[in-house]
Structure 1
């Protein structure tokens, strides 16, 4: 590629001293010829910053280190880092995840050829406690994502169906539409915001990232996720309510959060069984209008 565009690879990290070296090594090992690295440490209380600086010092190209003196949410940290970025494109990486060596080269080639505005890709999930790696998507899930790209907003407005590791986006869009700092699922919110405004999303059917899942991952915190879900969907609630299927999915998701929170707050097996039964009944009430099926609902014990 002649005159390859500059990419700003942004790493957001906090208390990742055990993982940050792997993330940084994957960043400095990219086979793409023209990129900078910007690492923002969100007031870590361990040696994350020192470990990152030691690794990035081996990078033979420009890089920046930002160290917060107080802790902020992920969205605000990304906005801070983007303000320091010089690239045409921004690639985002969490300090506990890592990228394949061809991550940037594949994404630049795709976005330049397809003329889309931002990109997602296939990848892997790594379960830290089990030392197990699996595909980020099942074949069915991936096909659904790829098939829905032209109507991505509609398919994802009531629930996030994508793995957003290694999000790759035009920097000017992040300047014009910064991440919402009041939301924890900032990546899903950004996907919806851009596609709702007509910007095009692409998907590379190649495994270009590793998403590390920890027991403390945000996806395990049901109260936080419920709050974030309601904040994101509230922006598009009129659209959701106007479509029966979307509204049904929305209500089912709220019930899901409700009972996951309740289940997480009890250790009593009888109480858990009772909650599971109540959950099942509420799902039936929303999913089925057929009297026979409703009778089946009443028979659940």
Structure 2
């Protein structure tokens, strides 16, 4: 029996949603469910209509990406969760390759490299991703920055029962916060050095529009976890 993978696509007024859904539907892996969570969108919802018989479409009041992800996760039936932003795309073998990697390594959470694309789907940068010599080096990096692209992550659903869901009070760093809680929960985070996601840079993306607020939130998160991470690194002999 193939484990089921739930692909959660949070959607808020994004013109690229159709491409995101098509990439999820085009996966080579046979046991995938796709959950599109409409976080109170007012435009571009018509782009979802052609896919309503092939995806689970959930509507909710606007509450931010973390709340949309959590809503999708609560409704998911999969053994594994993958997050796909509505302006990004998965390569066709993303789920198959990453799941096989995780099964082979008995992994509960993993992330991968990715390719960067522009507004017109041109690849502008290939095989992006921080590489670390050891898990200690990876954990040390978390003190100063988030090295993980959230849309490259796949995790076992049961992990979220252990460390909790995304923190909905964090508009921008809910993913960083989750990785930190996983690491401090003594969970090994695996890295697959293959580009399986297309990450889109465009003028309306949140990273560009909200960067000053994101920087403030990053500093806040680092202040909460820095001492715990440093203690853990010492315990690991780093």
TM-score (norm: length of structure 1):
0.70
Task: Give the 3-state SS of the residue equivalent to 1:67 in structure 2.
Answer: strand
Gaps of 5+ in 2: 233-238
- For 2:41 and 2:105, the matched residues in 1 are separated by 39
Helix, strand or coil for the counterpart of 1:195? helix
Determine the structure 1 residue equivalent to 2:235.
none
Q: Are the counterparts in 2 of residues 9 and 36 from structure 1 also a CA contact under 8 Å?
A: yes
Note the alpha carbon deviations across 1:193-219, whole angstroms, 9 max, x for none.
101111111111111000111223232
What is the root-mean-square deviation of aligned Cα atoms in Å? Answer: 2.2
Distance (whole Å) between structure 1 residues aligned to residue 212 and residue 29 of structure 2? 40
What is aligned with 1:164? 150
Residue 182, structure 1, aligned to residue 174, structure 2: no
Measure the CA separation in 2 of the matches of 1:29 and 1:129. Answer: 19
What is the total number of aligned residue pairs between the two structures? 229
Map of 2:101 onto structure 1: 110
The equivalent of 2:193 in structure 1 is: 205
> How far 1:109 moved relative to its partner?
0.5
Runs of 4+ in 1 over 4 A off after TM superposition: 129-132, 239-243
Match of 1:94, SS? Answer: coil
**1:78 and 1:205, CA in 2 relative to 1: closer, same or farther beyond 3 A?**
same
Matches within 5 A, 1:100-179: 100-128=91-119, 131=122, 133-137=124-128, 142=130, 145-176=131-162, 177-179=164-166
Richer in strand (by share): 2
Report deviation, 1:173: 1.6
Q: Equivalents in 1 of 2:35, 2:70: separation in Å? A: 12
**How is 1:1-301 mapped onto 2 (pairs within 5 angstroms)?**
3-16=1-14, 18-48=15-45, 50-57=46-53, 59=54, 63-68=55-60, 70-128=61-119, 131=122, 133-137=124-128, 142=130, 145-176=131-162, 177-183=164-170, 184-220=172-208, 221-239=210-228
- For 2:68 and 2:153, the matched residues in 1 are separated by 15
TM-score (norm 2): 0.88
Deviation at 1:241, TM superposition (A): 7.6
In structure 2, relative to structure 1, the CA distance for the partners of 1:56 and 1:105 (3 Å cut) is farther
| Structure 1 SS opposite 2:151 | coil
**Which is greater in Rg?**
1
Stretches of structure 1 that go unaligned for 5 or more consecutive residues are 244-301
| Higher RCO structure (Cα 8 Å, ≥6 apart) | 2
